[in-house]
Every structure is written in structure tokens, then in C-alpha cells.
Amino acid sequence: MQNKVVAHFLNGRLVKGFTSDFFPNKPAFHVEHAETGNSAEVQVDELKGVFFVKSFKGNPLEKHRRDVERTGLGRKIRVDFKDGEILIGYTSGYSPTRPAFFVFPADPQNNNEKVFVVTAATDKVTFV
């Protein structure tokens, strides 16, 4: 199955494309670039996170609701990334000793379906 992803690198670079070999416990995966079709290997330890998206366009000006209560996705969490971005959502897999974890956005209308957060790219993670 192909997943539509945006790989956010620690250096700010973005790679938008499709992956069919992403696994949370693997150190690398491949992304087929959305525009060129070229495939590139992505090292997870170079990432802030992998954003599984509905659309590549997104809307950076869109305000996401943070007060939505969703059930079945784990505990509500706030992730403060080192680059200043804040992600509010739900997780059932966060532990500070794990190298990464999934977050499902609080707002179901968010363009992100889920985010694979690399723990080393976070400044602070708190349950809310």
C-alpha cells in the first residue's frame, strides 16, 4: 500500500511523495517524489517526523482546532518540536525512551492523518 507522506528533515527540508516501505521500527525507508517520480532513501534519524497527509497542498494558515475530543486514539498529548512547531493530538505509544511515536491530530479535519514523531526532534512532550 502506498502512503502519501511529507518527510520533514531536521534541517528544514521537505520531501513530498509516496512510500510503500515505511515501518516504524526501521531506520530508513524510500520516498518516491510526488513531482519527479524519482525515489530516494530517507534516514529516520535525519528527520523531525513523517507526516502522513491527505493532500500535498495543505494550508499553513489554517487554524486547527485543539479542543476536539477523539476516542480510541490514546491519551491527549502536546509535542513541542525544537523548531517551534506545536502538535496537539493523541498517542498510545509515547515513551521518552522510545526513538519515535505516532500522534493522531486532535482535529479530524487536519490535513495530517497521523504524524510519526522522531523523539530527538522534540523539545518537550507533555500529556494534556
Q: Candidates 3.30.43.10, 2.30.30.100, 3.40.50.620, 3.40.50.1970; correct CATH number of 3-53? A: 2.30.30.100
Say if residue 1's pLDDT is above 90.
no
pLDDT of 5-58, one tens digit each? Answer: 999 999 999 999 999 999 999 999 999 999 899 999 999 999 999 999 999 987
Q: Cα dist. 20→11, 23, 29, 64, 73 in Å?
A: 24, 9, 8, 28, 23
Query: Global pTM?
Result: 0.92
Output the average pLDDT for the chain.
92
- Which numeric CATH code is attached to 75-127? 2.30.30.100
CATH topology match: 3-53 vs 75-127: yes
* pLDDT over 90, % of the chain: 80
Give the domain ranges of the chain. Answer: 3-53, 75-127
Kindly give the pairing relationship between strand 75-81 and strand 122-127. Answer: antiparallel
Helix, strand, coil content of the chain in percent (nearest 5):
5, 50, 45
Residue 59 has pLDDT above 90, yes or no: no
